């Protein structure tokens, strides 16, 4: 594939755009805490809406029950600041676990406070990493081999394989301008 010439202005624009995308990706990663990169617990939700959040008990002598009702058996009690993992929410109740091997436990949702930094889903983690890697490669490519970018775009989008009538829509090409339009341009 022949390399297309890149003007200094286009090169600066490519560097600026790729640098901006890289900085945004880096800022997104730096705004997350290390706790957000920990895997979410693999605990099944018995009933209700699965949430998998980290939280803390916000009162003393909170009853931890075996079912989501005030008439169920009290398994244990928890105090202010005790960490729990909210597995799912069912009405005014939250299914919690302190470890992955705990039996199903329930607590009133008003007695727990979710932490601000929640574990990120694996899809979010992968998209942040992929965005950073791709933007870093784009920045590197813009700096070292800027002529490869239009060639790669041409290869990806297969613009050479378009029918002749569609190519002027994609590529800059010399189009014969009628004489009356040339006169209008000269007057303006």
Chain segment 74-103, per-residue pLDDT in tens:
999 999 999 998 989 999 999 998 766 677
CATH number of the domain to which 64 belongs:
2.30.30.40
- How do beta strands 112-114 and 49-57 pair? antiparallel
Q: How far apart are the first and last CA of the chain?
A: 39
Q: Tokens 């189009």 label which residue?
A: 175
Task: Determine contact, residues 47/90, Cβ cutoff 8 Å.
Answer: yes
| 97 shares its domain with 46 | yes
Regarding whether 109 and 57 lie in a shared domain, the answer is: yes
The answer to whether residue 91 sits within a structural domain is yes
In a domain, 148, yes or no: yes
Please check whether residues 65 and 126 belong to one and the same domain: no
Domain membership flag for residue 161:
yes
Do 61 and 85 have their domain in common?
Answer: yes
* 84-93, 164-173, 174-183 — most confident range: 84-93
1 in any annotated domain: no
Same domain, yes or no, for 107 and 52?
yes
Q: Global pTM?
A: 0.60
Q: Is residue 47 one of the residues assigned to a domain?
A: yes
Region of residue 37 (left: phi > 0; alpha: psi -120 to 50; beta: else):
alpha
Dist. CA 139–CA 23, nearest whole Å: 10
Instruction: Indicate the number of domains in the chain.
Output: 2
Distance CA 79, CA 56 (A): 9
Per-residue pLDDT of 18-49, as tens digits, reads: 899 999 999 999 998 888 888 777 777 878 88
User: Do 48 and 94 share a domain, yes or no?
Assistant: yes
Q: Which domain holds residue 101?
A: 40-114
Pairing of strands 62-65, 49-57: unpaired
């Amino acid at each position: 594939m022949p390399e297309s010439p890149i003007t200094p202005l286009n090169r600066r624009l490519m560097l600026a755009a790729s640098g901006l995308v890289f900085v945004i990706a880096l800022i997104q990663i730096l705004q997350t805490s290390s706790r957000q990169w920990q895997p979410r617990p693999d605990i099944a939700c018995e009933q209700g809406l699965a949430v998998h959040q980290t939280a803390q008990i916000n009162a003393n002598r909170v009853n931890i029950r075996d079912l989501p009702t005030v008439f169920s058996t009290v398994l244990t009690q928890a105090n202010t600041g005790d960490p729990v993992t909210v597995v799912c929410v069912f009405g005014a109740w939250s299914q919690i676990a302190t470890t992955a091997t705990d039996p199903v436990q329930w607590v009133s949702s008003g007695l727990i406070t979710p932490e601000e930094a929640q574990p990120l889903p694996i899809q979010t983690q992968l998209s942040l990493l992929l965005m950073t890697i791709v933007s870093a490669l784009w920045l590197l490519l813009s700096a070292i081999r800027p002529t490869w970018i239009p060639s790669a775009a041409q290869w990806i989008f297969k613009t050479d394989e378009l029918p002749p009538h569609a190519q002027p829509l994609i590529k800059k090409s010399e189009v014969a301008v009628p004489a009356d339009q040339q006169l209008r341009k000269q007057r303006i």
